[in-house]
Structure 1
Amino acid sequence: MASSGMDTNLIPLFPLDTVLFPDGYLPLQIFEVRYLDMIKRAVAAGTGFGVVTLVQGTEVRLPERAETLAAIGTLAVIGASATPMAGLMQIQCSGGARFRVVSSERLKTGLWMAEVAPIAADQIVPVPDELEDVADALGNLIRTLQDEEVPSAEMPLQAPFRLDECGWVANRWAELLPLSTDEKLRLLVLDNPLLRLELIQDALHERGVL
């Protein structure tokens, strides 16, 4: 894989039928050999891996199905791991920095490696008054889950709850709402957290949440 000459990193990829946003929560059960080896190395080295959305293909490798990956992804940071039995790992990850895939290659083992260019983190933009209802609705959802005593490992949103930041609120709703993969990827790539939150407000109105 040739270097592009820009500021890039070489990382392993984990293609999934989901879109991981920065600060999102991602619990995974790993049983495929290609990913067991990758996760073991990542845990030992204290490094992460890239989560990219499968545009075509399946999470479990099938010889007759080609895999097409999205051109943007998010670094997954492993927070906890366990091996309840041989051939199975359980990990809890959080979303880190976004990145663009510059080039990618699938190895003989089936593992994808990619040269990626990091995308700058969202600027911290306070939630304006006209979008406060979006943050309030998310806060109500968090309180409901807490009142129901949902275990921390099963909470779809993890503390700290930054309900005063456009990017954090927009990203959490983007994960929770039943949006299409294309819609989620368009939100992920936006570099304006205020615009992202405005689009989320529209989606909440369309679904009668607000």
Structure 2
Amino acid sequence: MQLPLFPVDIYLLPNGICKLQIYEQRYIRLVKLATANHHGFGLCMKIDDNLCHFGTRVIITDFDPLPNGFMSITIQGVEMFLINNHWQDNDRLYIGDTSPVPNWHRKNINFIDQNISDNLQHLFQQHPDHASYYPEPKFDDITWVCQRWLEILPLEVNQKQWFMSRNDCSAALSFLHSVINNHSTSK
């Protein structure tokens, strides 16, 4: 699938939600393309000046014009993808030939993983602005919980890319257990 690409330092996974401010002409065109094609656009990251291999296809769920002439859009992650090839149009908008990567399957939380979910719920309580993006959080789905943690943790781009290349949330869950358990014992 060909998608317009938005390289940005935001890590968003399927079902993740965030807001972006759009002000460059090429990204205003990206918004127009994304709403016309009904497929959305690709959110991807860069290392140095190179696009990363994995990204997330997102759809625009809301938009608002801002007083400064910018546009605020709310986006939601749909599926991960692999960039097979990419190029830039005359206005420097990236276009990518992408292949979907299977989403991680929903997985009910079990007793041993409850601490990971409880800590995310606590974090959401401390940051109600972020929590407001998720009126129906899925704290009983460990895949959803892992994805939200990966989005907010300050990880290196290559770490984020590595997690995206996994077939399920197992590696992320193992990583989160070590991070959260180490944080809890260091208090």
CA contact (8 A) 1:75 1:98 kept: yes
Counterpart pick for 1:37 among 7, 17, 29:
29
Is 1:185 matched up with 2:180?
A: no
CA gap of 1:44–1:88, structure 2 versus 1, over 3 A, is: farther
Per-residue CA deviations over 1:8-49 (Å, capped at 9, x if unaligned) read x01100001122111112210011110011113323554410
Contact 1:53–1:73 under 8 Å retained in 2: yes
Query: Residue 17 of structure 2 contacts residue 76 of structure 2 at CA under 8 Å; is this kept in 1?
Result: yes
Would the aligned equivalents of 1:157 and 1:172 in 2 still touch at CA under 8 Å? no
1:54 maps onto 2:46 in alignment: yes
Unaligned runs of 5+ in 1: 1-8, 57-66
Which residue of 2 is the match for residue 128 of structure 1? 110
Query: Partner letter of residue 47 of structure 2?
Result: V
1:110 to 75, 92, 95: 92
Q: Which amino acid aligns with 1:116?
A: T
CA shift, 1:123, in A, is 1.4
Distance change (3 Å), C-alpha of 1:209 and 1:94 = farther
Name 2:174's counterpart in structure 1. Answer: 198
Q: Distance in 2 between matches of 1:70 and 1:142?
A: 29
Q: CA deviation at 1:90?
A: 0.7
Amino acid at match of 2:114: E
Q: TM-score, normalised by structure 2?
A: 0.89
Separation (CA, whole Å) in 1 of partners of 2:132 and 2:95: 28
> In 1, are the aligned partners of 2:34 and 2:59 still within 8 Å (CA)?
no
Deviations 1:126-162 (A, max 9, x none): 22221111011112222344xxxx35xx547523211
Q: 1:82 maps to what in 2?
A: 64
Match of 2:52 in 1: 70
The worse-fitting range, judged by mean Cα deviation, of 115-124 and 155-164 is: 155-164
| 2:163/2:171 contact within 8 Å kept | no
| 1:85 CA drift (Å) | 4.2
| Alignment correspondent of 2:140 | 164
Q: After the TM superposition, which residues 147-162 of structure 1 pair with which residues of structure 2 at under 5 Å, given as runs?
A: 150-151=128-129, 154-155=130-131, 157-162=133-138
The separation in 2 between residues aligned to 1:156 and 1:178, in whole angstroms, is 21
**Structure 2 alignment gaps of length 5 or more:** none
Secondary structure at 2:66 match in 1: strand
Do 1:125 and 1:194's aligned partners in 2 also have CA atoms closer than 8 Å?
Answer: no
Q: CA RMSD in A?
A: 2.1
Aligned-partner SS, 1:207 = helix
Contact 1:72–1:99 at 8 Å: present in 2 too?
yes
CA contact (8 A) 2:4 2:33 kept: no
**Structure 1 length as normaliser, TM-score?**
0.80
Helix, strand or coil at the partner of 2:120: helix
Identity %: 24
Aligned residue type for 1:183: Q
